[in-house]
Amino acid sequence: MKFVNDQAVANYVEKIGKQLVGTVENPPFEVQLFVIEEPGLNAFAAPGGYIFIFTGIILLSDNESKLASVIAHELGHVVERHIAKRIEKSTKVNIASAIGMLAGLLIGGPVAGALMVGSMAANVQTQLMFSRADEEEADFMGLTFMTAAGYNSAAMPEMMKRMGHETKWLGSSNVPTYLLTHPDIQDRTIYLTNYIKSKSYPVQLTKQKAHESTFQEIKTRVESEYLDSQLAERRFMNRIKDNPQDKMAYLGLGLVYARTGKNEQALEELKKAVRLDPADPAILSSLGRIYFNLNQFDLAKECLSQSVVMRPDFAETLFYLGRVDQELGYPAEAIKLFNRVLALDKNYTETFYNLGILYGKEGKIGLASYNLAKYYRAKGDHKNALYHFERALEYIKNDPAKTEEINQEIKKIKKEQKKKWDMSVI
Ligand SMILES: [Zn+2]
């Protein structure tokens, strides 16, 4: 199992998580969300406030509320500390040790052990077998978070029904874990619907309408980037056949072509999408990326700049605009743009790398090393991260805040290399 490498997808899911967490009074953990590139219908909470969502869940959702309902349920498990409660009750030694290993991997953030964390967390989840009471509690808590965050609460039972429908066609050995470890779907939709009625929760969106177009963009990206490319291509072509005005289908088809290296064909499809809606920032941004890949930097800059005007807070567009300026020979502008990217998204790893290169060319060795260290740190490469942090310390002299930050990072890395865990992180 691996995490999706599309930062826009990861950020989007994280944002939903943040909105839900924002409604919790005193969350016991700092909650972090990760998207795993797997077609199955699964989502689970792991020790320490980590929540994992399979891409299959995004593909099954048809709006943001449905996706949020799955995240909200997992957040319910986290907030109620169900994992710790299960361990206390469990007599199986292997569960505790599996969780111990998992917690050890998670101390440095899942990136450090990305490949293992997902499958181990899934395994732990299956072994834990939350009780029915735990599940009901997670459902009800989830509904409360959703409603407080302005989502349509009816999306939760609707999403359950969808999952149930999907599983009907699968053999029993193919039933997704998410459903195996959860109460019967029919019961669940009934008690959820009754609960929503009894609380008079709103059954429409209250404040999230603007997010729906982002949802469609993200889902299109997941379909074009993580489904089998031929299957994705067929799906988008069929959608275009059914509705030649479906701009997202052209975007998706274009992204499938870009993924398989057919940049010229990608360009054609994206141009069609722009013709259908010249003011869609998502389409303009993707077109800009394709132009960038084709080394057509002036056209890339035009599309990306237009997109940024309409959507100034989308890290990826700013990143590519920075890359364009870097290629066109405007290092100062590129540095400014990259710093804007990091202000929006400190996990946009490639930015650190490019900043490192740019500062290096300007002879600012301290800043170059600092950024390269951040890059390697995010990649889970402790050795190179330490080397560059220590080099940065040598060169950065008159910045006490940065020196302090670097010292802290060095201390943290050294501690993480030892990887210890105890019950407090679960
Ligand atoms: Zn659950």
pLDDT for residue 423 is more than 50: no
Rounded to a whole number of angstroms, the distance between the first and last alpha carbons of the chain is: 22
3-state secondary structure of 46: strand
Distance 180 CA to ligand 1 centre (A): 10
What does the alpha-carbon distance between residue 233 and residue 224 come to, in Å, rounded to a whole number?
A: 8
What does the alpha-carbon distance between residue 409 and residue 352 come to, in Å, rounded to a whole number?
A: 15
- The position carrying tokens 């800043």 is 367
Q: What is the pLDDT of residue 98?
A: 64
- The position carrying tokens 């729906």 is 212
What does the alpha-carbon distance between residue 183 and residue 130 come to, in Å, rounded to a whole number?
A: 10
Question: In the chain, count of helices (H) and strands (E)?
Answer: 22, 3
Distance 137 CA to ligand 1 centre (A): 9
DSSP secondary structure string, 185-238? HHHHHHHHHHHHHHTT--SS-SS-TTHHHHHHHHHHHHHHHHS-HHHHHHHHHH
What does the alpha-carbon distance between residue 103 and residue 91 come to, in Å, rounded to a whole number?
A: 19
- CA angle 19-25-31, nearest 5°? 50
CA nearest neighbour of 369 among 400, 340, 403, 346: 403
Tens digit of each residue's pLDDT (9 = 90 or more) over 337-383: 999 999 999 889 999 999 999 999 999 999 999 999 999 998 888 89
Share of the chain above pLDDT 90, in %: 59
Tens digit of each residue's pLDDT (9 = 90 or more) over 307-327: 999 999 999 999 999 999 999
Question: For residue 311, which phi and psi values (nearest 5 degrees)?
Answer: -140, 85
Distance 135 CA to ligand 1 centre (A): 5
CB atoms within 10 A of CB 50: 23
Distance 121 CA to ligand 1 centre (A): 13
Please say whether the beta carbons of 183 and 130 come within 8 A: no
Helix (H) or strand (E) holding 282: helix 281-293
Using only C-alpha atoms, the chain has a radius of gyration, in whole angstroms, of 23
Tokens for 242, please give them.
């059914």
CB atoms within 10 A of CB 135: 18
Q: Report the 3 state secondary structure along 221-232.
A: HHHHHHCCHHHH
The pLDDT-based confidence of 417 (bands split at 50, 70, 90) is confident
Architecture of the structural domain at 346-426? Alpha Horseshoe (1.25)
pLDDT for residue 53 is more than 70: yes
Q: What is the pLDDT of residue 170?
A: 56
Distance 163 CA to ligand 1 centre (A): 14
SS3 content of the chain, % helix, strand, coil (to 5): 70, 5, 25
- Encoded amino acid at 361, one letter: K
What does the alpha-carbon distance between residue 103 and residue 108 come to, in Å, rounded to a whole number?
A: 9
Distance 72 CA to ligand 1 centre (A): 10
The DSSP 8-state label assigned to residue 3 in this structure reads B
What does the alpha-carbon distance between residue 83 and residue 315 come to, in Å, rounded to a whole number?
A: 34
Distance 61 CA to ligand 1 centre (A): 17
Distance 366 CA to ligand 1 centre (A): 47
CB atoms within 10 A of CB 7: 19
Strand order in the sheet with 43-46: 32-36, 50-54, 43-46
Mean pLDDT over each residue of the chain, to the nearest integer: 87
pTM: 0.86
What does the alpha-carbon distance between residue 134 and residue 323 come to, in Å, rounded to a whole number?
A: 48
The pLDDT-based confidence of 26 (bands split at 50, 70, 90) is confident
Q: What is the pLDDT of residue 130?
A: 79
Distance 138 CA to ligand 1 centre (A): 6
The pLDDT-based confidence of 69 (bands split at 50, 70, 90) is very high
CA nearest neighbour of 69 among 16, 27, 10: 16
Q: Cα separations (Å) of 151 from 26, 64, 67, 147, 194?
A: 21, 8, 10, 5, 18
Distance 55 CA to ligand 1 centre (A): 17
| The most confident of 115-119, 317-321, 412-416, by mean pLDDT | 317-321
CA nearest neighbour of 163 among 173, 150, 177, 151: 177
Distance 122 CA to ligand 1 centre (A): 12
Distance 254 CA to ligand 1 centre (A): 37
Tens digit of each residue's pLDDT (9 = 90 or more) over 260-271: 999 999 999 999
What does the alpha-carbon distance between residue 266 and residue 260 come to, in Å, rounded to a whole number?
A: 9
What does the alpha-carbon distance between residue 269 and residue 382 come to, in Å, rounded to a whole number?
A: 42
Domain ranges of the chain: 7-198, 346-426
Which neighbouring-strand residues pair with 46? 50
Tens digit of each residue's pLDDT (9 = 90 or more) over 180-211: 666 678 888 888 999 999 988 877 766 655 57
Q: Which residues contact 421 (CB under 8 A, 6 or more apart)?
A: 100, 103, 104, 107
Distance 187 CA to ligand 1 centre (A): 14
- Encoded amino acid at 30, one letter: E
Tokens for 13, please give them.
């899911």
- The position carrying tokens 């929503």 is 196
Q: What is the pLDDT of residue 47?
A: 77
DSSP secondary structure string, 107-137? HT-GGGGHHHHHHHHHHHHHHH---HHHHHH
